[in-house]
Structure 1
Amino acid sequence: MAEDSGQEKTEDPTSKRLQDAREKGDVPRSKELTTTALLMVAGFAALIFGSQIAVDMMALMKANFALDRKAISDPSQMIEHLVQALMDAFLSLWGLFVLLAIAALLSPIALGGWNFSGQALQPKGSRINPLSGLKRMFSLNSLVELLKGTAKFLVVGTVAILVLMIDRPEIASLAKQATEVAIGHAVEIVVWSFLVMSAAMILISVVDVPFQLYSYKKKLKMTLQEVKDEMKNAEGKPEVKGKIRQLQLEMSRRRMMKEVPEADVVITNPTHYAVAIRYDPERGGAPFVVAMGVDFVALRIREIAQEHEVPILASPALARALYHASELGDEVPVGLYKSVAQVLAYVFQLKRYRQRLESEEPIAPGEDEIEIPGAFRVDPE
Structure 2
Amino acid sequence: MSSEAPEQDSKTEDPSQRKLEEAHKKGDVAKSQEVTTWFMLVGVAIICATMAPWTAQQISQPLQLIMMNADQFNVEGSGFGAFFNGLAFAMIGAVLAPLGVLYICGVVANLIQHQPLFSAEPIKPKFSKVSPLAGAKRLFSADALVNFGKGLVKITVVGVVVVLVIWPERDRLDTMMTADPIIILADVQEIAVKIITAVLVVVTFIAAADYFYMRHKWWKKQMMTVQETRDEYKQMEGDPHVKGRIRQLRQEKARKRMMAAVPDATVVVTNPTHYAVALKYEKNMAAPKCVAKGADAVALRIRAVAKEADVPIIENPPLARALFASVEVDDDIPGEHYKAVAEIIGFVMRLKHGQGWKARN
User: Fold conserved (TM > 0.5)?
Assistant: yes
Q: Could you tell me which of 19, 22, 43 is aligned with 1:20?
A: 22
CA distance in 1, matches of 2:180, 2:7: 77
In structure 2, relative to structure 1, the CA distance for the partners of 1:374 and 1:34 (3 Å cut) is: farther
What amino acid is the match of 1:161?
Answer: V
Aligned residue runs from structure 1 range 1-381, under 5 A:
8-71=10-73, 74-175=76-177, 177-236=179-238, 315-317=286-288, 320=290, 335=322, 370-372=339-341
Q: Deviations over 1:172-195 (max 9, x none)?
A: 443564332222232232233234
CA distance in 2, matches of 1:6, 1:120: 23
Per-residue deviation, 1:147: 1.0
CA distance in 1, matches of 2:5, 2:200: 43
Aligned length: 276
Per-residue deviation, 1:22: 2.0
What amino acid is the match of 2:225?
Answer: T
CA distance in 1, matches of 2:160, 2:63: 35
In structure 2, relative to structure 1, the CA distance for the partners of 1:335 and 1:216 (3 Å cut) is: same
What amino acid is the match of 1:52?
Answer: W
What amino acid is the match of 1:98?
Answer: G
**Larger CA Rg, structure 1 vs 2:** 2
CA distance in 2, matches of 1:208, 1:150: 14
What amino acid is the match of 1:316?
Answer: A
Q: Deviations over 1:300-356 (max 9, x none)?
A: xxxxxxxxxxxxxx8412x649x979xxxxxxx98479xx9x969xxxxxxxxxxxx
In structure 2, relative to structure 1, the CA distance for the partners of 1:191 and 1:115 (3 Å cut) is: same
CA distance in 1, matches of 2:345, 2:39: 77
Q: Deviations over 1:93-152 (max 9, x none)?
A: 221111112223332332122222233332111111111111111111111101110111
In structure 2, relative to structure 1, the CA distance for the partners of 1:58 and 1:14 (3 Å cut) is: same
Kept in 2, the 8 Å contact 1:30–1:108? The answer is: no
TM-score (normalizing by structure 1): 0.61
In structure 2, relative to structure 1, the CA distance for the partners of 1:3 and 1:178 (3 Å cut) is: closer
**CA RMSD, 1 decimal:** 4.1
CA distance in 2, matches of 1:96, 1:48: 10
In structure 2, relative to structure 1, the CA distance for the partners of 1:206 and 1:6 (3 Å cut) is: closer
Kept in 2, the 8 Å contact 1:148–1:204? The answer is: no
**Structure 2 unaligned blocks of 5 or more:** 248-284, 295-319, 326-331, 349-361
SS at match of 2:185: helix
CA distance in 2, matches of 1:135, 1:39: 33
Residue 253 of structure 1 aligns with which residue? none
In structure 2, relative to structure 1, the CA distance for the partners of 1:54 and 1:130 (3 Å cut) is: same
Q: Deviations over 1:200-247 (max 9, x none)?
A: 222211111001111111112222222122212322269x97xxx9xx
SS at match of 1:47: helix
Kept in 2, the 8 Å contact 1:2–1:223? The answer is: no
In structure 2, relative to structure 1, the CA distance for the partners of 1:175 and 1:2 (3 Å cut) is: closer
Kept in 1, the 8 Å contact 2:35–2:109? The answer is: yes
**Structure 1 unaligned blocks of 5 or more:** 246-313, 326-332, 345-366
Kept in 1, the 8 Å contact 2:75–2:83? The answer is: no
CA distance in 2, matches of 1:130, 1:30: 26
Kept in 1, the 8 Å contact 2:48–2:192? The answer is: no
CA distance in 1, matches of 2:183, 2:77: 36
TM-score (normalizing by structure 2): 0.64
SS at match of 2:339: coil
Kept in 2, the 8 Å contact 1:36–1:199? The answer is: no
Residue 317 of structure 2 aligns with which residue? none
CA distance in 2, matches of 1:114, 1:73: 48
